[in-house]
């Protein structure tokens, strides 16, 4: 059950982390219920303290939602895979963002494509989960999940092989 302490903990983690914090699938339903309880208590008591507490809960909730939206916007352009720990509403939002981005900018992406030399790319199997990171070529790679098979530029692949986060696929 959601409470103020847990809400503040989620807010703190959202601020500190690059990826969205894993929350229950029904997080927003729990948040709605928690806000309704706080609102009901404030209206019933007419207490200034209860009204301030309600406003604080609203501020924290809005902060969490804004940060999660920001992260989803960023993730929509950085990765293609599913993101763990999102609510159903957030997964739908992320899918829609990716669709809009692909429809709008997909045709423009080809102007940046360089002819590829398949010899300079390597196929790898990820052995440890890897968060998204900026590569030597300033492109964003990842996030990658354990067991996933990926193809990367040789320089990036060598880095993952040396750090034992991936294995070469022959």
- CATH number of the domain bearing residue 128: 3.40.5.50
Q: Are 122 and 157 in contact (CB under 8 A)?
A: yes
Same domain assignment for residues 90 and 139: no
State pLDDT tens for residues 51-100. 999 999 999 999 999 999 998 888 887 767 777 888 989 988 888 888 88
Helix or strand holding residue 98 (H, E)? helix 88-109
Query: Domain tally for the chain?
Result: 2
Q: How many CB atoms lie within 10 A of CB 110?
A: 7
Same domain assignment for residues 82 and 132: no
Same domain assignment for residues 45 and 78: yes
Angle 54-57-61 from CA coordinates, rounded to 5°: 140
Same domain assignment for residues 102 and 134: no
Domain containing 140 equals 118-168
State pLDDT tens for residues 97-121. 888 877 777 677 666 665 555 458 8
Residue-level pLDDT at 163:
92
Same domain assignment for residues 17 and 98: yes
pTM equals 0.59
């Amino acid at each position: 059950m959601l409470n103020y302490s847990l809400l503040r903990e989620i807010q703190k983690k959202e601020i500190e982390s690059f990826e969205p914090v894993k929350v229950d699938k029904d997080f927003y339903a729990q948040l709605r219920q928690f806000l309704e309880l706080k609102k009901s208590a404030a209206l019933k008591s007419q207490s200034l303290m209860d009204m301030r507490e309600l406003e604080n809960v609203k501020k924290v909730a809005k902060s969490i939602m804004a940060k999660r939206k920001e992260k989803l916007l960023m993730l929509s352009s950085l990765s293609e895979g599913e993101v763990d720990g999102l609510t159903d509403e957030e997964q739908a939002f992320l899918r829609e963002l990716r669709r809009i981005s692909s429809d709008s900018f997909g045709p423009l992406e080809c102007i940046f494509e360089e002819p590829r030399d398949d010899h300079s790319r390597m196929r790898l199997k990820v052995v440890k989960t890897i968060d998204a990171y900026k590569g030597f070529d300033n492109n964003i790679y990842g996030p990658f999940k354990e067991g996933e098979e990926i193809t990367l530029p040789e320089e990036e692949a060598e880095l993952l092989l040396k750090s034992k986060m991936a294995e070469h696929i022959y």
